[in-house]
């Protein structure tokens, strides 16, 4: 069992704090309770394996949760543990280009504990409505300005009821000077969009940033390449997962799930469409000359059809060696009128014509190799050659595939520092989902990866330990029930 360094420290602290109490309490367990920790006969003599020992405090004792506190400078940190949404603003606007009630951002939010693997005292933000537009946002403690320090964005998501079609991504709302969180909607300018999204069997982890064209000042979305791993389990296992984006001033970026890298790249090389346009483009006014020959091969003009080439010979002929099977009933029809059929009482011969009994397979043919007129089977004609065509030879006039000439791109620019994005000053969730009870927790925005890692150890790391301990307990109960059966 591999443990990340961050929450390994947490585990060591828990082991130290609970060691004495754990041993004493465990010695007092009844025989029935002790059976919870006995493993199969082929386990070690103590009945505890390596995973049991690591999870021992959580298997047999309730862990006291303490709200995480950032260990360094942050732009935003939210745990929801106080049960309040005072710093958050619900959108009061409507979605453009949508009709009636569906245009309203009337999806409900709540602060709740997890449905499963609860950590007492820990709460998160929960999207409560299905088939509704949701929009909620909060101002940062201070705007983030892209200069000389990295950007680290991190938060937790749990699709508690799975996910059919919907997202759990966040938007970092641009500092435009006119940002009004009450009017937050799908077209509110954002700098970065990051997080999971799924519809059908398409599982995505978005990292999108909006880049300003220095020539015309237009904003264009740039999408990072897809993650290098199969993302399905993160949407279906109903566990809390940690999503992290690290963006560096040297234009490199890296995406993490549960502190493991799933994608990395460079803003100058790995975005679609590219940040910088090509220096040269095809001349839109150029056209292929009428006499341009793109044929690499042509029929040999000197080839002559052989005298014995028969173009009229059929592709199939009757098999001359075939013999009619013995017992073939030439005089019997394959189908005969059904002798048990009766004309319907409402049959009108003037309107419906003369009634005929429906056809059924001839019973006399059931044991015979066949009935009716016997015909020789068809086989490939060994003399068939088909339509004669001259063989192909290299075209002496071949000029290659025509391409328009290149000209300088009038819209060319070169931005070597796309990291210098539009500053942002708020975090928002603007989502539509066909599944409810999507859980969000422990948002943090900082410039220091170690601060985000420690924050994760004190929050998500504990959730992971509790979930692992609960799974271990369930497995032991199942084993015990099987032994008792």
Condensed to tens digits (0 to 9), the pLDDT of residues 139-153 reads 999 999 999 999 999
pLDDT at 49 over 80: no
pLDDT at 102 over 60: yes
DSSP line for 365-410: GSSSS-BSS--PPEEE-TT---S--PPEEE-TT---S--PPEEE-T
Q: Which CATH class name applies to 62-280+418-447? A: mainly beta
Higher pLDDT, 430 or 35: 430
Q: How confident is the model at residue 28 (pLDDT cuts 50, 70, 90)?
A: very low
User: What phi and psi values does residue 186 have, to the nearest 5 degrees?
Assistant: -65, -20
Query: What tens digit of pLDDT does each residue of 231-269 get?
Result: 998 988 899 999 999 999 999 999 999 999 999 999 999
**Per-domain boundaries in the chain:** 62-280+418-447
Q: What's the rounded mean pLDDT across residues 111-125?
A: 94
User: What phi and psi values does residue 213 have, to the nearest 5 degrees?
Assistant: -70, 120
* Predicted local distance difference test score (pLDDT) of residue 6: 52
Contact 368, 328 (CB under 8 A): yes
Would you put residue 295 in left (φ > 0), alpha (ψ -120 to 50) or beta?
beta
Question: Which residues, listed in sequence order, are joined to residue 194 by a DSSP beta bridge?
Answer: 170, 207
Contact 241, 168 (CB under 8 A): no
pLDDT at 11 over 80: no
Quote the pTM value: 0.71
Q: How confident is the model at residue 295 (pLDDT cuts 50, 70, 90)?
A: very high
**Percentage of the chain lying above the pLDDT 90 cut:** 70
Contact 240, 114 (CB under 8 A): yes
d(CA 51, CA 54): 5
**Percentage of the chain lying above the pLDDT 70 cut:** 86
Residues with Cβ within 8 Å of residue 300, at least 6 apart in sequence: 390, 391, 392, 393
Highest mean pLDDT among 153-157, 362-366, 371-375: 153-157
Query: What tens digit of pLDDT does each residue of 434-479 get?
Result: 889 999 999 999 999 999 999 999 999 999 988 888 888 888 887 8
* Predicted local distance difference test score (pLDDT) of residue 473: 81
């Amino acid at each position: 069992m591999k443990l990340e360094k961050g929450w390994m420290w947490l585990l060591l602290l828990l082991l130290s704090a609970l060691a004495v109490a754990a041993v004493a309490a465990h010695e007092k367990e009844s025989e029935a309770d002790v059976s919870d920790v006995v493993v199969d006969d082929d386990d070690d003599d103590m009945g505890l394996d390596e995973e049991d020992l690591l999870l021992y405090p959580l298997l047999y004792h309730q862990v006291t949760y303490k709200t995480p506190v950032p260990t360094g400078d942050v732009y935003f940190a939210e745990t929801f543990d106080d049960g309040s949404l005072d710093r958050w603003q619900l959108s009061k606007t409507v979605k453009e280009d949508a009709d009636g009630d569906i245009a309203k951002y009337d999806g409900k939010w709540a602060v709740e504990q997890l449905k499963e693997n609860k950590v007492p005292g820990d709460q998160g933000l929960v999207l409560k409505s299905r088939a509704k537009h949701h929009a909620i946002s909060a101002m940062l403690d201070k705007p983030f300005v892209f200069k000389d320090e990295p950007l680290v964005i991190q938060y937790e998501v749990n699709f508690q009821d799975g996910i059919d079609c919907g997202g759990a991504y966040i938007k970092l709302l641009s500092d435009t000077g006119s940002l009004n969180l009450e009017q937050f909607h799908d077209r509110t300018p954002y700098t970065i969009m990051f997080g999971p999204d799924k519809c059908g069997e398409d599982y995505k982890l978005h990292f999108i940033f909006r880049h300003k064209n220095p020539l015309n000042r237009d904003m264009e979305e740039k999408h990072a390449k897809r993650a290098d791993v199969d993302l399905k389990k993160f949407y279906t296992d109903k566990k809390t997962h940690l999503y992290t984006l690290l963006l560096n001033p040297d234009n490199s970026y890296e995406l993490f799930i549960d502190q493991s890298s799933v994608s990395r790249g460079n803003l100058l090389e790995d975005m679609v469409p590219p940040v910088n346009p090509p220096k040269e483009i095809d001349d839109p006014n150029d056209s292929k000359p009428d006499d341009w020959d793109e044929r690499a091969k042509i029929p040999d003009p000197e080839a002559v059809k052989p005298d014995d080439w028969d173009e009229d010979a059929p592709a199939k002929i009757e098999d001359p060696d075939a013999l009619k099977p013995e017992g073939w009933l030439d005089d019997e029809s394959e189908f005969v009128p059904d002798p048990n059929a009766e004309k319907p009482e409402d049959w009108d011969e003037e309107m419906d014509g003369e009634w005929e009994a429906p056809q059924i397979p001839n019973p006399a043919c059931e044991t015979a190799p066949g009935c009716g007129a016997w015909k020789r089977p068809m086989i490939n004609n060994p003399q068939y050659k088909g339509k004669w065509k001259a063989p192909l030879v290299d075209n002496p006039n071949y000029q290659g595939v025509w391409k328009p000439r290149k000209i300088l791109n009038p819209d060319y620019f070169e931005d070597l520092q796309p990291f210098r994005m539009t500053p942002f000053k708020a975090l928002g969730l603007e989502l539509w989902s066909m599944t409810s009870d999507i859980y969000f927790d422990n948002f943090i925005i900082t410039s220091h990866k170690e601060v985000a890692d420690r924050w994760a150890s004190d929050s998500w790391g504990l959730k992971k330990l509790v979930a692992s301990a609960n799974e271990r307990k369930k497995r032991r109960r199942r084993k015990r029930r099987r032994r008792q059966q």
